[in-house]
Amino acid sequence: MAKVELRGYSDLRKALKRFAPDLDKQLKTELAAALKPVVNQARGFVPANSDIMRGWQPRSFSEARFPFYDSSTIKKGIVYKTTPSKPNANGFTSMARIINQSAAGAIYETAGLIGPQPWVGPKAGGASKKVSRSNWKGAGAQFISNLDPLTSSLKGSGRLIFKAWSKNRGVAEGAAMKAIDKATLQFEERAKGNRLRSAA
């Protein structure tokens, strides 16, 4: 799953949800307003089905495990989330994020980021998704060469959400951080005035 994250502030979100649900709602609304333009632009970068190599387009007679390309599925799968995520392996949580949820979308987003997958051929055992089981050894490199080039951003490189993040030039992140700072200050002001009430 490809995604752009805004990390940290999990304690703030917990406190807002418990003691100032109106501020939590306000923050989610403002985070959504900051991220939605990036989501819309990323969806705009999704090529039409007709513009994708024929070998990746859906075919009724094939039951291949590799997810077929479908532009409408990919567009629907590019979404924003304003709820805190679960901690990752390093203990980080994200305050908000833009996610490329579909398998085909994630492949289109980042294919070639670390080069073609090692080729093992169609008869190799195992279930690893980190190797190529194509009939032809050069299929992976050819697949990548047929895609649009990757675009680098401060959050990573890709063709859809990372490209949109790069084109946004920090506007979305700036707006999101401003919303977080605003909610923090408002919460601190209420705490000083003893105007907090548990919502539980």
pLDDT tens sequence across 12-23: 888 888 889 999
Same-domain check for residues 50 and 131: no
Domain membership of residue 200 (yes or no) is no
Domain membership of residue 125 (yes or no) is yes
In the predicted model, residues of the chain with pLDDT beneath 70 are 4, 6-8, 59-65, 197-200
**Sign of the C-alpha dihedral computed for residues 20, 93, 115 and 141 taken in this order:** negative
Same-domain check for residues 20 and 61: yes
- Quick one: 141 exposed, middle or buried, by C-beta within 10 A (0-12, 13-18, 19+)? middle
pLDDT at residue 21, as a whole number: 92
Tens digit of pLDDT for each residue in 140-159? Answer: 888 899 999 999 998 999 99
Same-domain check for residues 6 and 47: yes
Same-domain check for residues 12 and 47: yes
Domain membership of residue 136 (yes or no) is yes
Structural domain for 78, as ranges: 2-107+151-192
pLDDT at residue 59, as a whole number: 67
Q: What are residue 127's DSSP bridge partners?
A: none
Closest residue by Cα to residue 167 from 39, 23, 77? 39
Same-domain check for residues 13 and 27: yes
